[in-house]
Amino acid sequence: MIDTSMYKDDPGYNIQELLDKPYDPELADREYNPDKPMAGRLTDQGPPHFEQFFPEVIKKNYGKWLTHEFLQSGVIKYTSETGDVMWVVRCATPRLVTTNLLREIADIADKFCEGCCRWTTRNSLEWHVTDEGTLKELIEFLNNLKHPGGSYKFPIGGTGAGITNIVHTQGWIHCHTPATDASGMVKSVMDDMFEYWNSHKLPAKLRISMACCLNMCGAVHCSDIALLGIHRKPPFVEDDRITGVCEVPLAIAACPTAAIKPATVELADGKKVKSVRVKNERCMFCGNCYTMCPAMPLADEEGDGVAILAGGKISNRITRPSFSKLIVPYIPNELPRFDSVCKIVRQIVEAYEKGANKYERLGDWATRVGWERFFEQCNLPFTDKSIDDYRLAYDTYHTTTQFKWSSHTDKMM
Amino acid sequence: MADLKKHDTPLLNELKKGPFPSFVDDLETRANSGVQCCYDLLGQLELSYNHKETHWKHGGIVGVFGYGGGVIGRYSDAPKEFPSIAHFHTLRVNQPASKFYNSRFLRKLCDMWDHRGSGICNFHGSTGDMILIGTSTDQLEPTFYDLSHQFDMDLGGSGSNLRTPSCCMGKARCEFSCLDTQAITYDLTMTYQDELHRPAFPYKFKFKTSGCPNDCVAAIARACTSIIGTWRDNIRIDQKAVQAYIGGELKPNAGAFSDRDWGAFDIQKEVIDLCPTRCMWMDGNELKIDDRECTRCMHCINVMPSALRPGVDCGATILNGAKAPILEGAQMSTLIIPFMKMEYPYQEFKDYVELMWDWWMEEGKNRERLGELIQRQGLAHYIIDILGREPIPQHVREPRSNPYPFWKEEEVPGGWTRSLEDFRKRHAA
Amino acid sequence: MAVDKEELKEKIVEFATKKSKFKSKMYIKDLYKADPDAKPREVKNAANELVREGRLEFFSSGSTTMYGVPGFGKSEAQQFEGEE
């Protein structure tokens, strides 16, 4: 068992008592007084202590696990030194979930898993069971749960040498600076990659990540394949509106490249107002100015789209962690199913599946065969945009006579 | 319920097809149970799919009273068409470490969020928080009141605060874990509540804890301080199990390659030759490891988890400074403290945190991440002058290739003040 | 030597009010200038106490948090909730 004696006094320690009481929808309306916000207020209590949500088998075997085995994609068997055995079933979720789905999750947890469940770092859902009979029933139950449109509610998979769930950001669902949609792209790519979600047939694990603008609130820069929304047009400046809705100095200060300068401009009616001008060639299309100033929108149907980076990883296994590299600089937003993004991801994954050695991550494969061969085998054009001209560019220059002949040199001969 | 307004969403309907869970179906199912904002959210998303442009605006709301983080303001730019999502703010809620929940908690949370907001969530946001998407300004305080009084929950970090710490599942399930990742995360979260809720820093700050160098929570790519489990004694070997892998009774990598025929397991080719330091060999039927040469990359342990285990003298390797590319380019965390015991109450770690934060608060520019400050003022300066630690070869991938260190005056015998007169006695002008 | 907290709070309010006429939102680093003798952490603690007292307020730029003096600058309603 875990020693939690030092936490006994923490307010977050005994949540069961609170959970015994049903939600009281009127409590806050009764007790909270906006004129006296500090009255009865609880602050800085932090999250509840994690141990209270563990299934019994985990409480008992915490720190005592001996080994694990993937019985099939998405099903893991754990063995403890106490002799206990536990099975875990992993399912995909789209990250964006409603309380309707959460209630269904609670029902499944009650039916099969002593009421417990867990989410992974990559938005998958995990169920814990302690006997094989329940495991079989749970798998069958999950396989039969579908949304009205036919998609699985909780498809099993995401382990081992396959593609696990895509971590992603909000996109057009709920963000003000996205250059593309996140949930729709993830759905489209995962539909297309589904055969890799629920199988172990790749040379190693493959992680796809998605961020809808270059601020990357989902850090995708160390992924086997990164899908990144990009803007390519500087923001508008609405001179007639800017002084009404923005503080000009804040908009200026928000720009990471100091591309925004104050300017006094004359409106159509001859009135002079304090506004700003954007030095377009310095704009890196981050949208920070729009965050501070609603009169500087930058979204644009033709400017916005998707870049694909590849060959990064996080694990320290065999080789050191590495950044993803820019492979495809721009793909237009093709709605609703992001056909070109899906097609290019498939080209990369299939070339990797064919070419890589067992245990070799995508970036290690590309490094071994050479990036010239990578572009060739993925059947992707190499463009000037993949040659770095930003900070630290020199790190990527090719300072050796060792290179391979490829289609790129053939056509020069 | 009679006046529910459903919008036409022909483009989004295409996203109901295919095997992967459809968020459109989930939202529509909820909308059909009488929730207008789910129809409006789908309607506005359909509009974005038509325009290929977002329809959200940012707001300046930061939190509830006294908090400088945890809430993100959102306003629709099409409020007339979609009035129920005109104000649609987000709350970040600090998740329990490693994200285990029970059904009683989830149901009660659903009751609360159905009452106070849209019933739409992210499980979870990138930082690790549980995200409640969509409520109006007047519901923010009551939602917080409910969370704190009826759930013992609190808001997570945003803005230039300490962001909600997160971790892998650690010892709850993983036999590789060298750290009690949840306990560390819980303790740091509780210790630094003030920094988490109120802006203290030049910019965001992140702690992430992974139990082993496989780094399942991506600490090395995302955290200002990455806490990654390691060991300093020997890999534990079960020679009988090694033979079971060689004999094919146990599946390599715990069965992670099961759907493709890679041929019989070959320990030489798949483990020994892939070891980055070549510190393993077979001595007859015995697997030998020269542990002094091992860099603990986890490959052999990942391939033969029933035969090999990390050592028992465990602690953390502490690395600093990871960040996403904006602005100076992406940075990975860099090795600072090769080994630190991580035992409650983590005093040595907290002493180090104080030194680091004091320096960054003093010297960091606005919106400068810790990793960028280390770059700007120098890694050696940070290690030696700020943290008071010895420089060691492990601090660099390779020594610098330019001979231009900035010598300090006190490092040179006699200092920099010298007699020109004496010099000229030896050298004609 | 630690500075007196109440004194520091007055200095911060005075500094922030003066500065608000040009730029209504300040970073915590800007507030350090209110009293060069105070340690960053003391300034932070004092500023956050002022927020609790309602004499300063927070503003979010999304990725960073700023401080403002209530009444200066554009209100949430002016900026984001439509201009009617």
Distance, in Å, from the CA atom of B377 to the CA atom of B192, rounded to the nearest integer, reads 26
C-facing residues of B in 113-142 (CB < 8 A) are 137
> Do C17 and C69 contact (CB within 8 A), yes or no?
yes
**Is the residue at C84 inside a domain?**
no
Name the residue among C41, C60, C80 with its Cβ closest to that of B158: C60
> In terms of DSSP bridges, do strands A260-266 and B207-210 run parallel, antiparallel, or are they unpaired?
unpaired
User: Model pTM?
Assistant: 0.95
Name the residue among A152, A187, A301 with its Cβ closest to that of B15: A187
Contacts of C39 in chain B (CB under 8 A): 358
| Number of domains within chain C | 1
DSSP string, B327-367: TT--B--EEEEEEE---TT-HHHHHHHHHHHHHHHHHPPTT
> Do A306 and A338 contact (CB within 8 A), yes or no?
yes
Residue of chain C with shortest Cα separation from B360: C40
**Is the residue at C61 inside a domain?**
yes
Residues of chain C with pLDDT under 50: 82-84
Query: Which is it for the CA torsion A241, C79, B68, A12, positive or negative?
Result: negative
Name the residue among A249, A288, A294 with its Cβ closest to that of C80: A294
Does C78 contact A38 at a Cβ distance shorter than 8 Å?
no
Does C83 contact A247 at a Cβ distance shorter than 8 Å?
no
Residue of chain C with shortest Cα separation from B160: C64
How confident is the prediction along chain B (429 residues), in pLDDT tens digits per residue? 458 999 999 999 999 999 999 999 999 999 999 999 999 999 999 999 999 999 998 877 778 999 988 999 999 999 999 999 999 999 999 999 999 999 999 999 999 999 999 999 999 999 999 999 999 999 999 999 999 999 999 999 988 899 999 999 999 999 999 999 999 999 999 999 999 999 889 999 999 999 999 999 999 999 999 999 999 999 999 999 999 999 999 999 999 999 999 999 999 999 999 999 999 999 999 999 999 999 999 999 999 999 999 999 999 999 999 998 877 788 999 999 999 999 999 999 999 999 999 999 999 998 899 999 999 999 999 999 999 999 999 999 999 999 999 899 999 999 999 999 999 999 998
Residue of chain C with shortest Cα separation from B64: C58
**Is the residue at C64 inside a domain?**
yes
A-facing residues of B in 121-150 (CB < 8 A) are 121-124, 126, 128, 133-134, 141-143, 145-146, 148-150
Interaxial angle between packed helices A183-192 and B23-32, expressed in degrees from 0 to 180 and rounded to the nearest 10: 120
Tokens coding A117: 């469940």
DSSP 8-state class, residue C22 = T
pLDDT of B79 reads 96
Residues of chain A with pLDDT under 70: 1, 11
Tokens coding B25: 């179906």
Q: What is the pLDDT of residues A215-258, one digit of tens each?
A: 887 779 999 999 999 999 999 999 999 988 888 888 898 888 89
**Is the residue at C38 inside a domain?**
yes
Does C79 contact A254 at a Cβ distance shorter than 8 Å?
no
Q: Which of A48, A153, A133 is nearest to A93 (CA)?
A: A153
Distance, in Å, from the CA atom of B181 to the CA atom of B188, rounded to the nearest integer, reads 11
Sequence-distant (6+) residues with CB within 8 A of A389 are: none
Query: Which is it for the CA torsion A70, A72, A73, A78, positive or negative?
Result: negative
Q: Which of B283, B254, C6 is nearest to A68 (CA)?
A: B254
Q: CA-based Rg of chain B, rounded to a whole angstrom?
A: 28
**Is the residue at C57 inside a domain?**
yes
Distance, in Å, from the CA atom of B87 to the CA atom of B137, rounded to the nearest integer, reads 7
**Is the residue at C19 inside a domain?**
yes
Cβ-based neighbour number of residue A38 at 10 Å: 11
Residue whose structure tokens are 């939202």: B27
Distance, in Å, from the CA atom of A260 to the CA atom of A251, rounded to the nearest integer, reads 8
Q: What is the pLDDT of residues A60-106, one digit of tens each?
A: 999 999 999 999 999 999 999 999 999 999 999 999 999 999 999 99
Tokens coding B121: 């969530």
**CA–CA distances in Å: residue A39 to residues A36, A206, B65, B116:** 6, 51, 12, 21
Can you list the positions of beta strands (E) in A258-310?
260-266, 272-278, 305-310
C15: domain CATH number is 1.10.10.10
Tokens coding A217: 């609130």
Distance, in Å, from the CA atom of A393 to the CA atom of B386, rounded to the nearest integer, reads 30
pLDDT of C82 reads 47
**Is the residue at C36 inside a domain?**
yes
Can you list the positions of beta strands (E) in A7-137?
65-72, 75-80, 85-92, 96-98, 116-119, 124-129
Tokens coding A233: 């047009």
> Do A188 and A342 contact (CB within 8 A), yes or no?
yes
Secondary structure percentages of chain B, helix, strand, coil, to 5: 40, 15, 45
Contacts of C40 in chain B (CB under 8 A): 358, 361-362
Query: How near does any CA of chain C get to the CA of B271, in Å?
Result: 44
> Do B117 and B134 contact (CB within 8 A), yes or no?
yes
Residue C34's domain comprises 5-79
Contacts of A253 in chain C (CB under 8 A): 23
Cβ-based neighbour number of residue C4 at 10 Å: 14
Q: Which of C65, C16, C11, C18 is nearest to C38 (CA)?
A: C11
Distance, in Å, from the CA atom of A87 to the CA atom of A104, rounded to the nearest integer, reads 21
Q: Which of B383, B292, B297 is nearest to B334 (CA)?
A: B383
